[in-house]
Structure 1
Amino acid sequence: MDKELDSHDRHFSEQDLDAITSKISDLGKWRDIFSQQGLQFKDTVVKKCQDNRKVEDDCGDGAGSPQSRSIKSRSHFSTLSVPYSVPKAFVVPSNLGGLPITLETAVALRKVLFGTAFQVFNYEWKKSHFKFRDPYSDLAYGLEAEKGGTRSIQMAVQAHVLKYLLFTRNNEVESHNIKCLLGVSHKEQENALAAALSDILWTAGEGIKSFVCLVTTECYFAPTIDYKTDSYTERLQLFKFTDKGKLQDFITEYIHCFNGEGSHAVILFLYSLLLSRTLERLHNDMGNTTSHLLQLSLGNFICRQALINLMLTGRASPNVFNGDLQYGDQGALLKEPQHGVLARSDVGYLYWNRHELGHDKLPQVGSMLKTPKLPIWLCNINDTFSVLFNTNRLLLSDWKMEHLFDLYFYSGQPSQTKTVTLTIDTHSHHWEEGMHEKEGDPEKRFPSVEMTIRTKWEGAAIDWNGTVPFF
């Protein structure tokens, strides 16, 4: 009897194991189907690189054009809604002549970004790219800014897009009207994006050498226990340029790798920026006060000030004040100097945060960033990024022009349907006149964008010209 029970138990267990194995196999098949269509379960898909050539799952073999893969995906999954969907990545052939990335370079990039080689970008970062509003519309010059950590990068690029559209493509014209931004065509959008990206990369490379990273069809190193794979960093080729014109031409040719859905564009641009600056220069820029460029906040990675300054000035200085600080608030010599901004750049920076008022935390942006060479500012307002700009190149070089002038505000948010015109009056009266009898802190009664402008033009009165203040 005991032998019969033992035999029955073994038989029952084998059946259970077969059933479990079958279910696991079914799950594996479904995951393969999802992976082939560019879909992911949350942010984790197991990927393996073999023979330094083949990458399973997302790495794929690169067969078929991006367009054909996109059409195939829509036809098979037209009614499927997946919250964590990342389209199949744009890839370029592996024979373009770029330098294949090495494991050492990939590890170094991860460490300067996250502080560790085991952290990878999340879904939000992977899907982010540089997408314009509809061409020929009132906001055709504007990029759509994602919520969260990539927004600062997209809006910094937006500032350089405005630089190109206003002051580069028609360099001989000293003053423009806002109408010159209306009706920008699709081709002009692509040219402006290519010019903006190449301008930032070339400045970071100090006008000597810059790099562009593109995802190719091959995987160039096998996974190790010291590095977590992500299916695209391992497939990068690095393209080096010593001529700005050729750099811009190359980005223009492969602009779909930066403005296409599924292109990992923001990540590729970020990698290109770091390599253009070089890791050695980055460490010198940051000093010992900043160890990596991204920080975790509310469950997402956001850019530290050093990375924002790198996009604006070409140098990853961790602070917004002028020059390098050798002494602390009490006059004591600091153990390590704090690095600030050393020179004026084409695009400026303004900062305002209500939550830091009264806590002696509000950083004082120096004149190098407040007064750029061109009237374009990246604005960090309550940890949300936007741009302010003027169309007159001479606004900041002639003090008489700063008595009464317009600033244009673009938030990058889909809810904004037209450019907001703000009239700034710095001469006739103070913005607080007639407000003394009202109760409450003025910083709590006025829109944050107004308070941001007053960090540059103290006491200015601001007219929204009929627009209901929304920021």
Structure 2
Amino acid sequence: MFWECLTAVEAKGSVCPPPPAPSPARGSPGHGGDGDPGAAECPGSQPPRSVPRPLLLPPGGRPVSADTAMRLQQLLFRNSAALFGCEWAAASFSFHPAHGQLSYALRAGKGGTRAILAAIQAHIITYLLFTRDTECTHLERLCHLRPWQQGQALAAALAQTLWAAGGGGRAAVCLVTAPVTAPVTAVPPEGYRASSFAERIRLFEFSEKAAAQEFISDHINCFEGEGSHGVILFLFSLLFSRTLERVQEDLGDTAPLLSASSGNVTCTEALLCLLLTGRASPRGLGGQREPEPGAGHGDAAEPGQRGPVGFLCWERAPGQRQVSPALRWPRWPVWLCSLSGRLSVLFGTDCRLLSHWRSERTFQLYFCSGQQEQTRTAHLTVDTHSHHWEEAAREGPCSPGQRRPALEMAIRSRWPGATVSWNGTDPFF
């Protein structure tokens, strides 16, 4: 049963923890923030703890039926027995500490949740640099954010992704009510079976993007709080925004959204495509025609259109598949990067970078890996008119001249022949 796949989800009690003690609204400058949420642990790895106070949901919304739950399970796994692992149950949209150099950055997840977190990270950067009211764009706009600004950026990124999945006409948000049975204070060793979980999910639907964003902002703790299981809630919201029928049409008869193997659950290309383009196409990240500059300014990216966030990929294994030009050339200079299978974000701060050829001669890019060991945003200088690369053009892919960091190779998939300076930082990725 679908609800059995959420055995680990209830490990910390109520999925939507309550808002903190009375304080100014989350989106207001007077909000003091929730502090720095710690990394969640796997169920059973910590002493028993009390279940958080139940969240009082707003009126409205509708429950999810058992039949719909089974359809959702099939779309996710194509397997009625597959379960989410503990890293999925613990995953939420948790920022680095406020007021710091990486206050704009989400903490990288483990396993399959990393793809979702990195995709939302790209939308957060796009919002902070380019789509919120601003007269200038520079790296400092991402640094030293206050807690209420972090929540505002997360709500905008989640709403943008859900709205694109809804085709620019609808969005759905899943929240979870309080348990209908008496709360349990300890997690049993064999896992937590949520027999009442189906009665607790409620689906809220919106026909205006601003209303969806405001609703998410009002309930942002359901996505970023420790123990909120915010990544799973957002994944469900994403599918209901697209509608299960349209997701099925996107996937066809065989492709799943998640791949479960040896207890690990990872995102497939179809889910990554849904996060970036609003469509769950199994092969949607490659093979598109070159877009015309300035084309595609809707919320959802049609085939060949430029969406707000791009995608770059580099694999050292032979048979590297070319990424769609529409994704290599997004509307804003922000790219989700897959580097030897690891997801991260590359971005520029010049909004003219992809619209004026003079801006592409020598320019600055920034890199956020999301890893805990990264304490500062990496700064790279890209020179597209250098000829150093041509000197090694006749060398094989495994020759010393071609052994470059994966990030540099991904950049060259967008700007062939470019040289990349790490400005004193030891190259990584």
**TM-score of the aligned structures, taking structure 2 as reference length:** 0.80
User: What code does the residue aligned with 2:242 have?
Assistant: R
Separation in 2, partners of 1:46, 1:113: 16
Separation in 2, partners of 1:91, 1:308: 33
Gap regions ≥5 residues in structure 2: 1-5, 22-42, 182-192, 290-301
Report the equivalent of 1:300. Answer: 264
User: What code does the residue aligned with 1:241 have?
Assistant: F
Cα displacement (A) at 1:196: 0.3
Separation in 1, partners of 2:83, 2:387: 52
Cα displacement (A) at 1:388: 0.2
Report the equivalent of 1:446. Answer: 404
Percent identity between the aligned chains?
Answer: 44
Q: Does 1:179 align with 2:140?
A: yes
Cα displacement (A) at 1:255: 0.4
Contact 1:214 1:257 in 2 (8 A): yes
Q: Does 1:367 align with 2:325?
A: yes
Contact 2:251 2:280 in 1 (8 A): yes
SS in 2 for 1:136: coil
SS in 2 for 1:455: helix
Contact 1:379 1:387 in 2 (8 A): yes
Write the mapping of 1:77-96 to structure 2, written as runs, cut at 5 A: 83=45, 88=51, 91-93=54-56, 96=59
Report the equivalent of 1:267. Answer: 232
Separation in 1, partners of 2:77, 2:46: 22
User: What code does the residue aligned with 2:114 have?
Assistant: R
Larger Rg: 1
Report the equivalent of 2:163. Answer: 202
Greater relative contact order, per chain length (Cα 8 Å cut-off, separation 6+): 2
Report the equivalent of 1:349. Answer: 311
Contact 2:381 2:422 in 1 (8 A): yes
User: What code does the residue aligned with 2:267 have?
Assistant: C
Aligned length: 378
Cα displacement (A) at 1:65: 5.4
Q: Does 1:125 align with 2:88?
A: yes
Report the equivalent of 1:109. Answer: 72
Q: Does 1:149 align with 2:107?
A: no
- Evaluate the alpha carbon distance shift between residue 246 and residue 66 of structure 1 in structure 2; reply closer, same or farther with a 3 A threshold: closer
Cα displacement (A) at 1:291: 2.5
User: What code does the residue aligned with 1:240 have?
Assistant: E
User: What code does the residue aligned with 2:113 have?
Assistant: T
Cα displacement (A) at 1:404: 0.4
Cα displacement (A) at 1:104: 1.2
Report the equivalent of 2:173. Answer: 212
Cα displacement (A) at 1:448: 0.9
Aligned with 2:347 (options 374, 380, 389): 389
SS in 1 for 2:391: coil
Separation in 1, partners of 2:281, 2:212: 25
- Evaluate the alpha carbon distance shift between residue 219 and residue 113 of structure 1 in structure 2; reply closer, same or farther with a 3 A threshold: farther
SS in 1 for 2:346: strand
Write the deviation string for residues 196-225 of structure 1: whole angstroms up to 9, x where unpaired.
0000001110121111000102569xxxxx
SS in 2 for 1:431: helix
Separation in 2, partners of 1:138, 1:61: 30
SS in 2 for 1:119: coil
Separation in 2, partners of 1:122, 1:258: 18
User: What code does the residue aligned with 2:405 have?
Assistant: P
Report the equivalent of 1:136. Answer: 99
Report the equivalent of 1:236. Answer: 201
User: What code does the residue aligned with 1:292 have?
Assistant: P
Separation in 1, partners of 2:268, 2:86: 20
- Evaluate the alpha carbon distance shift between residue 127 and residue 394 of structure 1 in structure 2; reply closer, same or farther with a 3 A threshold: same
Report the equivalent of 2:376. Answer: 418
Gap regions ≥5 residues in structure 1: 1-42, 48-56, 69-80, 221-227, 325-339
**TM-score of the aligned structures, taking structure 1 as reference length:** 0.74
Separation in 2, partners of 1:219, 1:469: 52
Contact 2:288 2:325 in 1 (8 A): no
